[in-house]
Structure 1
Amino acid sequence: MTNSAISLLLLLLTAALNVSGAPTAYEALRNFNFPEGILPKGVIGYKLDESNGDFRADLNGSCNFSLDGSYQLSYQSTITGHITENRLTNLRGISVKVLFFWVNILEVVRKGDNLDFSVGVASASFPLDNFFVSPQCGCGLDCDSIKIRKLKLPIINPSLSSS
């Protein structure tokens, strides 16, 4: 079976699950108090172990885009981690370009109306309303020459330990 045939099959299975009432990956995020825009459009499947919070989200291939021309993000085709109310930890599969280097986003914590993204030794805090819309692979939030919204600048917090 080719990759495109497998992707189509996964997409059809995901659509069938959604008809049966199973939540989408985006709805599952909302159940843990996260906005859907922390995942790009195009999640074709996900698994969530409700007993321990381990999750896996699958995209139709890797996904790269820039936000407001300042942040370059890269999502691998599979994203894994652990989710609890207001906290994503042990993240694998998401990275951001900082200066000339790609660094992994390891944790996302919701603190009130902000999301704190940690790369280990530093974190950046963004207003929650930056994440109400899911970006699209390739063009982010600036697709078809229509700017959806302007990304608000973060508050940078250097730290030696994740909180």
Structure 2
Amino acid sequence: MSILVLFFFIFSTSFLFVSGQNLSAYEVLQKNNLPRGILPHGVTKYDLNQKTGYFKVFFNSTCSFPIDSYKVKYQSKISGYLRTGRVRQLQGVSVKVLFFWVHIEEVYRDDDDIDFSVGVASEEFSVRNFERSPQCGCGFDCYRPVSSI
């Protein structure tokens, strides 16, 4: 009987570990009270250390797109530390302000707003603007033909 209990315990903990690994990067964001749209479409894989919150997200190539009057660029690998409602020490994401590219260092949720910080300054947007993920090249304003099927 104790062997059966041991087998059940091993099987159930293995299942929980595997099912946790099957979450997409977008689902991990949502689980941490952040909108999926802070990551563009095209994540090929990600790594997340559950204890420290350190993550790496991978894309096939760099990705840039407009958001309002800004242009945003994601490198093929981004990283940082994920906590509930916050990404700190973000690496690999930058925004063009006037003529200069500056690194976005932190993203955090403040009630119904998302703040993107470049260190000394930040810009606030409504969370609703990030309910879906932007696409490389055209961002949130992409034209998608309606399928006839």
- Fold in common (TM above 0.5): yes
Shift of 1:143: 1.5
Indicate yes or no: 2:65 matched with 1:65.
yes
From the superposition, tell whether residues 22 and 129 of structure 1 become closer, same or farther in structure 2 (CA, over 3 Å).
Answer: same
Correspondence 1:148-159 to 2 at 5 A: none
Between the aligned residues of both structures, percent identity stands at: 50
TM-score normalised per structure 2: 0.81
After TM superposition, give the deviation of residue 19 of structure 1 in Å: 8.9
For the residues of structure 1 that align with 2:33 and 2:144, how far apart are their CA atoms? 31
**After the TM superposition, which parts of structure 1 deviate over 3 Å for at least 4 consecutive aligned residues?**
18-21
Q: Identify the residue that residue 138 of structure 1 maps to in structure 2.
A: 137
CA distance 1:21–1:145, change in 2 (3 Å): closer
**1:114 maps to which residue?**
113
Matched residue type, 1:61: S
- 3-state SS of paired residue (2:143): helix
How far does residue 60 in structure 1 lie from its aligned partner after superposition?
1.2
Larger Rg: 2
Question: 1:80 — aligned with what?
Answer: 79
Once the 2 structures are TM-superposed, how far is the Cα of residue 144 of structure 1 from its aligned partner?
2.3
RMSD: 1.8
Q: Distance in 2 between matches of 1:127 and 1:81?
A: 22
**Would you say how many aligned residue pairs link Structure 1 and Structure 2?**
128
Q: Which residue of 1 aligns with 2:127?
A: 128
In 1, Cα distance between equivalents of 2:137 and 2:128: 21
Q: Structure 1 residues 60, 99: CA separation in 2 closer, same or farther (over 3 Å shift)? A: same
**What 5-or-longer segments of structure 1 have no aligned partner?**
1-17, 147-163
- Whole-angstrom CA distance in 1 between matches of 2:21 and 2:95: 34
Query: 1:20, CA displacement in angstroms?
Result: 9.0
Show structure 2 runs of 5+ residues with no match: 1-17
In the TM superposition, residue 97 of structure 1 has moved relative to its aligned partner by: 0.5
C-alpha spacing 1:21/1:119, structure 2 compared with 1 (3 Å): closer
Match of 1:42 in 2: 42
TM-score after normalising by structure 1: 0.74
Match of 1:14 in 2: none
CA distance in 2 between partners of 1:86 and 1:96 (Å): 21
